[in-house]
Amino acid sequence: MIVQPRFEPVRQIFEAHLADGLELGARFSLVQSGEVVLDLFGGHADRQERVPFGPTTLTPVFSTTKALAAILIARLVDAGRLDYGQTVASIWPDFAQAGKGEITVAQALSHQAGLSGFLAPIDPALWYDWNGLCTALAALAPLWPPGTASGYHPITFGYIAGEIFRRIDGRTMGRALREDLAQPFGLDLWIGLPDSEFPRVAQLDKPKGLPRFGELNDATRAAFLTAWASPGGRSGDEWRRAEIPSANGHATALSLAQLMGRLAIDDGGVLSTGARDAMSLEQIHGQDLVLPFQMSWGAGVMRNKGSGDFDTGPFGSGALTFGHSGWGGSCAFCDPQRELGGAYVMNRQRTDLMGDIRARALIDAAYRCL
């Protein structure tokens, strides 16, 4: 573990969470100005509490994966191969069906496309058929007028972003993540996990209840509350192997923090500062139709300003901070003002849709130490 003396209060909170049973196993990491300043891990990687949660433990991070997808898309923009203002249909012609021809890449990435899920039944195993699912999405009619509001796309986001990427780059997002970011920078980040890495994956202690979605509508039902809203009908091993860039990433907190830390400074390796700022530029702000929060969305990332009903934002007090959170509590964030990248992962899940109390306590304490 790494704990600079100024972050001793954060370590105390982290250890209290473990002692009080809020955590089974967890890790919280910070990188500032390119240096790892905090890396805490502890607890257990299994529900029987026999296997330590250690520096090589991989954790499913669910929707925190969307931050990785957003960065991969932003790299295409940075290279001049894509523009946020062009229509999705200009890249993926079949997407124009059912009145979707004018939806821009920026609108799709900021959850404005009206495709939060499928109201009519589909086979849950269709999520494992990339081409079949993309065909179904291309034919799907929006659940609200595109561009008029955001409505979180928990799973479909990954197929929209991933198909845009694949049609321009030729590779899947999982392969590009490995070849362009994980391997060159030594980062333990995965979308689509090889069998060889399975033994390192932490077992999840899943929550007993459901999140509070607020007032329900068709957009929320399609996103979360049908029997086919997420992949099903296959084994857990097949879930790990699949490449679903919205939901099934695996990572360590340190590697997520190192990636976000690189975004926070102009190191020329991940994104230029201009491309980073374009990715995090606000695309829409207001009451989300799926999440029970006022949301501020960039091009695939949650913006701290205006996100949720929090005084300081889910990622601390940085006005320009952006990132993403994941089901159960994980998160990764970038604060360009403080040249700070951070991440939190765990295997005891809670029902918070955003702003997990454990992550917030650690992040808020870290900001007090800066």
List the domains of the chain with CATH numbers.
57-319 (3.40.710.10)
Burial class (CB in 10 A: 0-12, 13-18, 19+), 191: buried
- The pLDDT tens digits for 308-354 are 444 457 899 888 999 999 999 999 999 999 999 999 999 999 998 88
Rounded distance between C-alpha atoms, residue 216 and residue 241, angstroms: 33
Q: Which among 191, 201, 187, 190 has a CA at the least distance from the CA of 258?
A: 187
Q: Within 10 A of 272 (CB to CB), how many other CB atoms are there?
A: 17
Q: What is the pTM of this model?
A: 0.97
Rounded distance between C-alpha atoms, residue 301 and residue 333, angstroms: 9
The pLDDT value recorded for residue 307 is 46
User: At which residue do the structure tokens 């250890």 appear?
Assistant: 15
* Beta strand pairing call for 284-287 and 302-303: unpaired
The pLDDT value recorded for residue 306 is 52
Residues in the chain, pLDDT under 50: 307-311
Rounded distance between C-alpha atoms, residue 62 and residue 329, angstroms: 9
The pLDDT value recorded for residue 107 is 98
The pLDDT value recorded for residue 313 is 73
The pLDDT value recorded for residue 212 is 85
Q: 89: which 2 tokens?
A: 């249909």
Number of H helices, E strands in the chain: 12, 12
Q: What is the DSSP string of 292-311?
A: SSEEEE-SSSEESTT-TT-S
Beta strands in the chain (DSSP E): 2-3, 25-32, 35-43, 59-62, 189-191, 249-251, 284-287, 294-297, 302-303, 322-325, 331-335, 340-346
